[in-house]
Chain A
Amino acid sequence: MEKLEVAGLTHHFGFTKILENINFTLQKGEVLSIVGPSGGGKTTLLHLCADLLDVTEGRVHNTFASSSFAFQEARLLPWKNVLDNIMLGLLACGEKRASALERAKKIALRFGLEESDFEKFPKDLSGGMRQRVSFARALVTKPSLLFLDEPFSALDIGLKRELQNILIEMIDKKEISILFITHDLMEAIRLSDTILLLKADPGHIVKAFTYKMPQKQRDDTFVYQESAKILQDSEIIATFELELK
């Protein structure tokens, strides 16, 4: 069974302790989100899980067959057109160019890009389009584990909902597992099976919330109700320092 296991993970940058004793397990088909205020070590934690940073203390054990990463910014290669950018991950796995091109075209259309956009360079795309391309690039390889670093934070509500719906569709079919970091509680409630609350200085997990209802059945009312509930939680108030306002 594929899973991602994090045990006793502690991390320092220089003399500053960023993360302390993080433990969690992400099972196949699950969506686990980590919420917390900005600057709380969320990105560091995600990078450690995705092997973009070296683990120094503790253990990260990843048995997922494949994974990909969608960043907060699109991070497209400016000298490659839309299709070439999407194909990047496929070519890296050794797929033939012709079939990679076909798959890239298919997923680009599914993510709401037009055929006339295919040859464009990133400089000619709007911010939302770039993020679509970035998502397509991450998902075209059909990863079994997806790392998301607040990829929706710069998008308008419509596009945000559209991309989330694509993910929810995939979650429903058990095609994908997601480790997701965000500071948006509503987003976390909409997508996650489990929400871990990361408190800063140094980052440590203070509480976990679980949601049993399948993502596909969660409507706006559910998300609003649960958000209202979670905002009453004393740990959430303390972590996000809500009492200051």
Chain B
Amino acid sequence: MKFLFKILKDFPLYLWSGWGAIGSIFLFIALWDAGHQYYGSLVLPSPLETFTTLLGMLQDKEMQEAIQTTLTRAGIGFGIAVILGTSLGLLAGFFMTASMMSRPIVTILVGMPPIVWIVLAMIWFGMGDETVVFTVVVASFPIVFVGSLQGTRTLDGDLSEMARSFALPWHMKFFDVYFPHIFSYVFPAWVAALGMAWKIVIMAELLATSDGLGASLAVARSQLDTAGALALVVIMIASLLFIEYVILEPIKREVELWRS
């Protein structure tokens, strides 16, 4: 509770530090407009046109549903990946044999291009929710797994010895000695996995479903609706930026205050 309060207290200051970021985004939009003036509306619609389309889209009921569908799919996939990846990573980290055996498997999972998974999932599950969720899980699981594995494997033996010398009860050992260390590895892995999940969900939807943001993108492509496609891209990027910089980054800052 105290912790949550501290995050909220530091939040305005954190937002204030964002002016530089906003400046660079505006610079990017200016370059975009320059591109528009050079290439014309069909290739690159102006930012103004894109944002007008975006506003129209956001008021459209169908589009709201599409966003919700995509968010649900990404959320479920990410949730499964986090739960599975974290718990299996912890287990593998605590046993030497398990961590040695899991390494090549993780390399395979990481090395496999997500598009291959989409194709396989389409064969296995057909066109629908399962395919998208499966691909999201498979793509983000290894990131979480590796983070959690490394967090467990790098636990400081000296600190556990110290904990033993003070005869810390198990719950203190876990919450005061092991958890903060593991969390400092797992949390950034979650953030990375979330970015991955968001990218993969769009790709999988574009190829394998008829609803959601990805499918809308496919429709925009077939109708050569460049402004619509760009507006969708803005939605995707804006939501990722929001989650990463407004929600996760402030938490990360407080959690990692002790790091040098």
Task: Decide yes or no whether B162 CB sits under 8 A from chain A.
Answer: yes
Chain A contacts of B158 at CB under 8 A? 71, 73, 75
Known: A71-B158, A77-B159. A92 touches B258 (CB 8 A): no
Task: Decide yes or no whether A50 CB sits under 8 A from chain B.
Answer: yes
Chain A interfacial residues counted at CB < 8 A:
19
Chain A contacts of B162 at CB under 8 A? 69, 71, 75
Chain A contacts of B172 at CB under 8 A? 88, 91-92
A123 to B184, CA, bound (A): 16
Known: A71-B158, A91-B172, A92-B169. A78 touches B164 (CB 8 A): no
Known: A88-B176, A92-B172. A69 touches B260 (CB 8 A): no
Identify the closest chain A residue to B177 (Cβ).
A77
Identify the closest chain B residue to A90 (Cβ).
B166
A75 to B158, CA, bound (A): 7
Choose one: A50, A73, A77, A122; the contact of B176 (CB below 8 Å): A77
Identify the closest chain A residue to B165 (Cβ).
A69
Contact (Cβ within 8 A) B165 A68: yes
Contact (Cβ within 8 A) B259 A123: yes
- Number of A-B pairs whose CB atoms are under 8 Å? 48
Chain A contacts of B184 at CB under 8 A? 79
Contact (Cβ within 8 A) B166 A92: yes
Task: Decide yes or no whether A89 CB sits under 8 A from chain B.
Answer: yes
- B161-187 vs A: 1/0 string, CB under 8 Å? 110111111001000110011001000
Question: Interface residues of B: mostly helix, strand, loop or mixed?
Answer: helix
A146 to chain B, nearest CB (A): 11
Chain B contacts of A91 at CB under 8 A? 172
Contact (Cβ within 8 A) B168 A121: no
B256 to chain A, nearest CB (A): 9
A43 to B58, CA, bound (A): 68
Task: Decide yes or no whether A12 CB sits under 8 A from chain B.
Answer: no
B240 to chain A, nearest CB (A): 29
Contact residues of B between 151 and 165, Cβ < 8 Å to A: 158-159, 161-162, 164-165
By a beta-carbon cutoff of 8 Å, the part of chain A in contact with chain B is 50, 52, 68-69, 71, 73, 75, 77-80, 88-89, 91-92, 121-123, 147
By a beta-carbon cutoff of 8 Å, the part of chain B in contact with chain A is 158-159, 161-162, 164-169, 172, 176-177, 180-181, 184, 257-260
Closest 8 CB pairs of A and B: A69-B165, A79-B180, A123-B260, A79-B258, A121-B258, A75-B162, A89-B166, A92-B168
Q: Told that A75-B161, A78-B259 touch, could you supply 15 new A-B pairs with CB distance under 8 A?
A: A50-B165, A68-B166, A71-B161, A71-B165, A75-B159, A77-B159, A79-B180, A79-B184, A79-B258, A92-B166, A92-B169, A121-B258, A123-B259, A123-B260, A147-B165
